[in-house]
Amino acid sequence: MKAVGYFKSLPITESESLIDLDLPVPTPGSKDLLVEVAAIAVNPVDTKVRVRRASADGTTPVILGWDAVGIVRAIGPDVAGFAVGDRVWYAGDITRPGSNAQFQCVDHRIAAKAPATLSDAEAAALPLTAITAWELLFDRLQVEQQPQRPVSLLVTGAAGGVGSILVQLARRLPHLTVIATSSEPQGDGGKWLHALGAYHVINHREPLAPQIAALQRDGVPPLRYVTSLTHTPQHFKDFVEALEPQGKLAMIDDFGPHDLDVMALKGKSVSLHWELMFTRSMHATHDIAGQGRLLAEVAARVDAGELRTTLADVVGTISADSLKRAHALQESQRQRGKLVLQGWPA
């Protein structure tokens, strides 16, 4: 089968940072689906793993990719709820070979049938970010389990992949006023976020707390929740200042162990939450199947017209050259929505 991978961790400008490969088709395990991959998406995790993880033995390539849509071609003996020929979507497991390959094995409990109303490219943009956004809102912040008084939610870096679906999910909750951040609140970024459902868009190149205070003077409800999707240390003091007492802060980005003064949260009893969408699959948690159910619910909402794809651009077919372009765009940290690759070179 065709695949794209690498052996050495290299800058994306290097010729061997990603290379085209010919590999054996994998054999599904007892709980696995063997999926023929039709479309994939690129996420920040792809670029982070590429620069941090080299081949363990120098001969087995690293295959990235944690977003896929494809057709089930074989199933393990312990698989339930799927059949050969099903069109599925999933984000996969960071401890296993990724979706940048023509065939991939994935645990059926973290997959679901793909939305019928989306093309392969449109659907491939969603799984990882939809899982992350859903778990942030409903599992970590538990936004539906709080008193249903009007409150606000702040989403930083909201025009990216996770933010673009999180804003849509949050907008469906009538007690939440969604405040999003962008580097261009009056430009294309702001237009994108308003179209997705943000009530207000503020500038994350400027201090956030004064901007939130100005909104509150105009009647915006108190800030109870923050989802910090990028540059958490830069904005942390503003979060502490702007959050109401007993508010909640959830994060997904990476930074150093001494970059946050978490004691600053104590005075307001603000709780701190981490989200990593790979936790269930990495640790085979008791609720691992919840991820498949989550994706099934997202698919149903897409097909009902409640959620839209966050696809920004189809970069090309699934090849080393196309993936290098996508990684370079992702590393620019100015990407709006999701980058997708579809099909395989002839």
> pLDDT, tens digit, for every residue of 114-143?
999 999 999 999 999 999 999 999 999 999
pLDDT above 90 for 230: yes
In DSSP notation, 69-92 reads EEEEEEE-TT--S--TT-EEEE--
Residue 257, class by beta-carbon neighbours within 10 Å (0-12 exposed, 13-18 middle, 19+ buried)? exposed
E-assigned strand segments in the chain: 2-5, 19-22, 32-42, 68-75, 87-90, 103-107, 111-113, 151-156, 176-182, 200-203, 223-228, 243-251, 271-274, 311-316, 338-342
pTM: 0.95
Which amino acid appears at position 22 of this protein?
D
Q: How far is CA 264 from CA 209, 232, 257, in A?
A: 15, 14, 15
**Average pLDDT of the chain to the nearest whole number:** 96
43 close to 161: Cβ distance less than 8 angstroms: yes
* 19-28, 131-140, 183-192, 223-232: least confidently modelled range: 183-192
In DSSP notation, 197-214 reads T-SEEEETTS-HHHHHHH
What's the pLDDT at 336? 77
What's the pLDDT at 166? 97
* Residue among 167, 176, 172 nearest 149 (CA): 176
What's the pLDDT at 147? 67
